[in-house]
Amino acid sequence: MKDTRVVITGIGTINPLAHDTNSTWTKILKGESGVDYLTSFDTEGFDTRFGAEVKNFVPEDILDRKVARRMDRFAQFACVAALEACDSANLSPQSLKPYELSVIVGSGIGGIVTLSEQHNILSERGPRRVSPFLIPMMLGDMASAQVSMMTGAMGANYCVVSSCSSGADAIGQAWYSIKSNQSEIILAGGAEAPLTPIAVAGFNSLRALSRFNENPKNASRPFDIKRDGFVMGEGSAMLVLESEEHAINRGATPLAVLSSYGSSSDAHHLTEPNPTGETAAKAIKNALAAAKISPDQLDYLNAHGTSTPLNDTQETKAIKLALGDVASNLSISSTKSMTGHLLGAGGALEAALCVKAIENASIPPTINLEEPDPLCDLDYTPNHSKDKIINTCMSNSFGFGGHNSVLIFTKY
């Protein structure tokens, strides 16, 4: 593999906190929560009545009305985030050669909003009333396809599906592609819009979601002894990644370097992480090795930190196994405490926040961390952000099915 530096030159996001990157970062540092009671459907009878919704989103304000109507909500999110990422990178896709730009977008669930709506139509009105756009709107690859068509990107174009690791894996695959000289510039990230009755009911049946209906904004509480499940969210984050040479040649300003990507599989259980933490630790070690850095060079770790009892304790084990004595002195936080868990888009949003942390020399907080679990005894930056120069940071993403994915970013 070439010794090519892969740089991030643009970021875009739409998420439960805000519709753009800078507003999101401002709210992250203030420790604001994007969690509230659900408004997209009637939650009467549901065990969980809240989530992390993207509020006040009118896709026609940003996207062509006719095109937007033929996209599922998750694909709309991806296109909006991609537009901001291109603007952030001072990138006009039309200025590139036709096959120069590639698109990789991860999604764990895809177009479940459209599938749910059309299933209701089938049940209530019969098969002839089902939309001819059902299939092309529900497919998981349609976020990447729509971004490709919107930007005219004719390079590689595909979807990564690895549950809650999807967004991180999409960015990791982009890193591989640029490092191996297959691509020069890629729009990569994740998109998800799972806040539907069937998805909430399904995750409730798994007993995976928090049921803290009395105070939703306090429900996402990673590493806290009273945590009772994750808070499901929606949105997208997209990054512009390119080789350093390509970025310099077009006059772009690198925001950070994507130094490495590491992965592994638990091969253990459909939903539960490996109880030893060893396989997640292996992904962390793989990323460190690929970046050619030692644990003591890490300044910040954005944890997967879902607020589920099992994930948080097993991730703590994995961090200790991978980093040794360094773990106890490392600044760590879970931004899911504020954004909720965007499933397949979570790793992409957290990658974006790592870049902002490097840029702004700030560690985001883990909010709602009031009584730490004794088994989660690392420095999880409770409730308040702190200033710190960050030269190197890591982002963990772990998904149902045993997917472990780790990204490392360094200051440019």
Tell me which of 159, 341, 354, 403 is the catalytic residue: 341
Contacts of 325 (CB under 8 A, 6+ apart): none
Q: Which tokens go with 408? A: 């490392």
Q: Are strands 36-37 and 6-14 parallel, antiparallel or unpaired?
A: unpaired
Q: Distance between CA 137 and CA 193 in Å, rounded?
A: 12
Tell me which of 19, 246, 304, 403 is the catalytic residue: 304
Q: Are strands 6-14 and 256-265 parallel, antiparallel or unpaired?
A: antiparallel
Q: Is 411 within 8 Å of 391 (Cβ atoms)?
A: yes
Q: Distance between CA 106 and CA 77 in Å, rounded?
A: 12
Collapse the DSSP code of 260 into the 3-class scheme (helix H, G, I; strand E, B; otherwise coil) and give the result.
strand
Based on the residue annotation, tell me whether 403 is a catalytic residue of this protein: no
Based on the residue annotation, tell me whether 268 is a catalytic residue of this protein: no
Beta-carbon-side half-sphere exposure of residue 134 (alpha carbons within 13 Å): 14
CA angle 393, 330, 224 (to 5 degrees): 105
CA 239 to chain centre: 11
Tell me which of 164, 354, 376, 393 is the catalytic residue: 164
Based on the residue annotation, tell me whether 304 is a catalytic residue of this protein: yes
Contacts of 87 (CB under 8 A, 6+ apart): 10, 12
User: How many CB atoms lie under 10 A from the CB of residue 126?
Assistant: 9
What is the C-alpha radius of gyration for the chain, rounded to an integer number of angstroms? 20
Phi-psi region for residue 351, left (φ > 0), alpha (ψ -120 to 50) or beta? Answer: alpha
Q: Is 229 within 8 Å of 208 (Cβ atoms)?
A: yes
Q: Name the residue with tokens 């979570």.
A: 346
Q: Among all residues, which ones are annotated catalytic?
A: 164, 304, 341
